[in-house]
Structure 1
Amino acid sequence: MASGGTGTDRLVRPSSAPLAQQGIGIGEGTALYVGAVLGGGLLALPALAAQKAGPASLLAWAVIVLLCVPVASAFTALGTRYPDGGGIATFVTKAFGRRAATPVGWSFYFTVPVANCCASIIGGEYVAGAFGGGRATAMVSAGVILLVAYAGNWYGLRMSGRMQLAMVGLLMLVLLTAVFTALPHTRSAHLEPFAPHGWLAVGGAVTLLFYSFAGWEAVTHLSGEFSDPGRQLPRITALSVAVVAVVYLGLAFACIGVLGPAMNDSAVPLTMLMQRGIGDAAQAVTVAVAILLSFGTVNAFAASGARLGAALGRDGGLPKWFAKGGAAGEVPRRSLAVLAAIATLVMLVLSVAPVGVDSLMTAASVLFVTVYVAGLAAAVRLLRPLTAAWAGAVISLVALVGSLVFFRYYLILPVLLVALAEAFRLFQRSRAVERTTP
């Protein structure tokens, strides 16, 4: 029986749109889930993490993969019990009240366009590496990725889900081919010294890799779109965790063991890895992989972020204008348009004042971790104590709270968003008082 805020043990379903109109299946759901987690960051993170911690960054990858299991289990349990477009914001509302949920919703919603810009720029870097043109080519290519992904979501989630299913299958084939063809070129010398920057550097690598960790909450925002969440979500989660673990650990080990220090000076480590395995065809293949991986991330986060914005509008966390299209089976185009507008603004700023992708990833990571801390705290309160999902939530919550110390000055970002969300709440309350005052 759920504790701390529901007073009921029944499965809560969205009040809108009959289940017959909901149509995401296990295949599409797994593709959306894997696409959200295996983002464009996978194309750059092995090199960026190795720059921070050397071969010891493999330990950081292992920590991330181990955390995936309890976090995904906790969010699956919540998504099964409370299928709603608000995702983590909905869970926090049920556990701690609406006041606590608004800053959590803001932290995820306004991070989505920044994270999407990161993913699209990484894909653009691979295009520029193949065709030349430097940063201009990378930025234009990133803009095209963003445009296609947001346009696909504009015309409906089922279209996006089918697109994602085909692309994720192709990506898994290419990535696993890259890993297994390159592994024979592994050199043990590339693993020495194992921790050239000290063991504390592993913590710094973990904070960067939280960008790749983000995505496990994405399915909770789409849970209301499944025909049978209680049956489908656990299967989707198990499949997604298995795929993500194999790809993360395999690709990270292959990059370090095969490429060694040469990877540290490259913005396109996957191209270098595939050249060792398949030769001259590597560049064309990796460009296609980069575009599809980046698109998969933007596509999945645009879908879940737009749903969250509509749910926040419905519940008062954002203006009511955002709520249109938020019912199951509908398309939240207003919320989606705001996300697209913010992403456009971010891209314009980056084109004038370039910021390193690793800095953008860390900024997005600290906000995602803040959201996860709130969501896992809600899971501890809402889920039945001493169950496997509850225990996973407790373990993950302790680990994530401990990781916050490594973010240092980036912690100002969640503090700022919390302050802005609270200011919005006070503004809404003052307007309500004005309307009721004679």
Structure 2
Amino acid sequence: MHGSPAPTPPVPPAPSHGSLTVLQGAALYVGAVLGTGVIALPALAANIAGPASLLAWLALVLLSAPLAATFAALGARYPDAGGVATYVRNAFGERASAIVGWCFYFAVPAGAPAAAMFAGAYVAAAVGGGSQTVLLTSVALVIVVTAANALGVTISGRLQVVLSALLVALLLAAVAVSAPHARLAYLHPFAPHGWSAIAPAAALLVWSFAGWEAITHLAGEFRQPARDLPLASGIAVVVVGVLYLAVAAASVLVLGPAAGQADAPLAQLLVIGIGGKVRIVAAFAAVLLTLGTMNAYFAGAAKLGAALGRDGALPRWLAAGSLAGDVPRRSLGVVAVLAALATAVVAWAQLGPKPLVLVTTGSFVTVYALGTAAALKLLPRGSAAHRCAGIALIAVAALCVATGWFLLWPLVMSACALLYLALQKRLQKRRDARLRGARRKVAQTDG
């Protein structure tokens, strides 16, 4: 990383000493991808595009299959804590790797307040308290996921199985009990804001499908990464696709025009189907679902930060915990502190979740773009995974266009990453020069 520029040696596959099972891996995937998106984004997407938002959901479900397959194939071949940053490093060198690493690592603390706000809206709808309840919920969620990950990935993996099982049960129940109230008439007009509104709706929904890259940072934690990671990913693709489409369709067909104004659409579906004080149950479930998402992302980001410290893209102090089986507590602490600061800023500025979602997804789109490009270079040509990478790259390019101005944030992160590398190299040259000078003085003294 230091000294004169040189070709970056590939990061070899590390021997796995992990303990994650296929079930725990699938649960982490489901929690990372499904979680908070399903409790709030059907309403936000319907507000932008009306019933036509269902086409955006369908497009992203179809995109998720090749995207998940691409990252699973890379994780199986290179089970390293660096995840996408490692793949990009092997393909394009240290600068591109640092860009990807910074975009992902610093997107998680920015996205955490948005995820927590979604859960907080459910809690506030159930118990009252408004913005104060939302803030207290957010702080509590950050504390809980930090504590769970500080205990190690085995504990957080077991927790994730319980959370994901609850998630699947809750969503199936909401769809089933509200189905008798569905009305096809709510599909008209299908595109009240024009067909062009589908693109910004899709850009917003990228948040819902971000997560296929998050678990790659934990690839080395699987017992047999080459077998377990693709299997866990495949299970999650099916579960996520079916549930997302079911909930999105139920939101449009049951809530109708009110779907775009619903703060807690999942709770409303349960209330319509069952009645009573289901909002309290939905709030409790929303908190657990948000825990699942934040748990998976905090775990992945903590491992990534340790890998970036190991590779010199972040301070070396963060490198502790980069090996499989180790707990990256220093990196986890940084993520938690940044998430707490972001939560405080959001509360002070009274920002809603939408801008935070778009800023975060802009970073994830950048990670996807460089990750799928790396896959085209690293995966065997002609293989199914290589073809999936090609499809995913084309689709991600379209998402970059749809994301628009919110790509400015990852551009800022990219500039910061490159500046950090340049400063590190300059400092290393100075240290090398001082060391050479000291050696010459010693040699002269000895002479």
Q: TM-score range by the shorter chain?
A: over 0.9
Alignment correspondent of 1:14: 14
Q: Deviations over 1:360-401 (max 9, x none)?
A: 111111110000000000000000112111111111101111
Give the C-alpha shift of residue 136 in structure 1: 0.6
Shift of 1:12: 4.3
* Residue among 226, 237, 240 paired with 1:230: 226
Name the structure 1 match of 2:78. Answer: 82
Shift of 1:344: 0.7
Match status 1:176 vs 2:172? yes
Say what the alpha-carbon RMSD is for the aligned residues.
1.5
Counterpart code for 2:13: R
- Which position in structure 2 is the counterpart of 1:69? 65
Matched residue type, 2:335? L
Partner of 2:115, secondary structure, is helix
Q: d(CA) in 2 for partners of 1:410 and 1:225? A: 33
**Structure 1 residues 93, 361: closer, same or farther in 2, change over 3 A?**
same
Q: Are 1:129 and 2:122 counterparts?
A: no
Amino acid at match of 2:18: Q
From 93, 99, 107, the counterpart of 1:97: 93
Which piece of structure 1 moves more, 49-58 or 95-104?
Answer: 95-104
Q: Distance in 1 between matches of 2:241 and 2:254?
A: 19
Q: Which residue pairs with 1:256 in the alignment?
A: 252
User: Partners of 1:408 and 1:173 in 2: how far apart?
Assistant: 36
Determine the structure 1 residue equivalent to 2:106. Answer: 110
CA shift for structure 1 position 41: 2.3
- Distance in 2 (CA, whole Å) between partners of 1:398 and 1:239 is 24
Residue 37 of structure 1 is matched in structure 2 by: 33
Give the corresponding residue for 1:352.
348
Quote the offset at 1:266 in angstroms. 2.1
Long gaps (5+) in structure 1? none
Q: From 137, 142, 147, give the equivalent of 1:141.
A: 137
Please say if residues 105 and 304 of structure 2, whose CA atoms lie closer than 8 Å, have aligned partners that are also in contact.
Answer: yes
**Identity, % of aligned positions:** 46
Q: Residue 261 of structure 1: CA displacement?
A: 1.1
Aligned to 2:312: 316
Amino acid at match of 1:87: G
Contact 1:12 1:81 in 2 (8 A): no
SS at match of 1:44: helix
CA distance in 1, matches of 2:27, 2:394: 29
| Alpha-carbon displacement from aligned partner over 1:206-261 (angstroms, at most 9, x marks no partner) | 00000011000112100001110111112101110011011100000000000011
User: Is the CA contact 1:156–1:331 (under 8 Å) kept in the aligned structure 2?
Assistant: yes
8 Å CA contact 2:19–2:223 kept in 1: the answer is yes
Give distance in 2, aligned partners of 1:136 and 1:426.
43
What's the TM-score once normalised by structure 1's chain length?
A: 0.95
In 1, the alpha carbon distance for the partners of 2:341 and 2:26 equals 31
Q: Report the equivalent of 2:334.
A: 338
Q: Does the 8 Å contact 2:14/2:220 carry over to 1?
A: yes
| Structure 2 CA distance for partners of 1:7 and 1:428, relative to 1, 3 Å | closer
Note the C-alpha offset of 1:99.
1.6
Query: Equivalent residue of 2:275, what SS?
Result: helix
Give per-residue Cα distances to partners, 1:265-293, cap 9 Å, x unaligned.
22111111111111114212211211011
The corresponding residue for 2:445 is none
- Aligned mates of 2:59, 2:294 — CA distance in 1: 25
Q: Which amino acid aligns with 1:67?
A: L
Distance in 2 between residues matched to 1:7 and 1:41, nearest whole Å: 38
For 2:407, the equivalent position in structure 1 comes to 411
Structure 2: unaligned runs, 5 residues or longer? 1-6, 438-447
Q: Which string of whole-angstrom CA distances, capped at 9 and with x for unpartnered residues, describes residues 6-58 of structure 1?
A: 999xx94326xxx4x42111111111111010121221100000000000000
Deviation at 1:183, TM superposition (A): 1.1
**How far apart in 2 are the matches of 1:351 and 1:415?**
25
In structure 1, what is the Cα distance between the partners aligned to 2:241 and 2:19? 27
Look up the equivalent residue of 2:300 and give its one-letter code. S
Deviations 1:58-93 (A, max 9, x none): 000001100000000011110000000100000000
**Distance in structure 2 (CA, Å) of the matches to 1:248 and 1:419:** 35
Q: Distance in 1 between matches of 2:180 and 2:242?
A: 18
Return the match for 1:377 from 373, 378, 382.
Answer: 373
| 1:57 equivalenced with 2:53 (yes/no) | yes
The answer to whether the 8 Å contact 1:116/1:297 transfers is no
CA contact (8 A) 2:88 2:371 kept: yes
Of the three residues 354, 361, 370, the one matched with 2:357 is 361
Structure of higher CA gyration radius: 2
